[in-house]
Amino acid sequence: MSTDRLNLPQLQTRMMVNALRSVRVGGSVVYSTCTLSPTQNEMVVENPCALARTYYGIKAVERSLKKMENRLTNTGLFQFSADCRPGSLLLPTLLSNFEPTYVCKITRIG
């Protein structure tokens, strides 16, 4: 595995911290990947939120995407992981020809 690939979670974490610093209070940041990796998904959401709080006094919360999950699941074409939190992980199925998709919405509240 290349060094660039191994360093990807650290780069993504820095980008998320900068995004949280840039967004106004009440604004949101949406983070999305095309991987099943918890290191690039959940951890890249949790770590920047903690770092932003510790170093910059930024408070941020995850917003529920349950409505989106329910609407897409009801079509019969999409399936979500029950184990993914924070965020939502759309799993590939035989009926749908796409990669896994992780998405999380973070809103700055302070």
Whether 34 is catalytic? yes
Q: What is the CA radius of gyration of the chain?
A: 15
Alpha helices by DSSP H, listed for the chain, are 3-6, 8-22, 42-56, 66-73
DSSP assignment letter at 44? H
Q: Which of 34, 49, 84, 104 is catalytic?
A: 34
**C-beta separation of 62 from 34 below 8 A:** no
* Sequence-separated (6 or more) residues with CB below 8 Å from residue 99: 34, 92
Cα–Cα distance for residue pair 12/31, rounded to 1 Å: 9
Q: What are the residue numbers of the active site?
A: 34
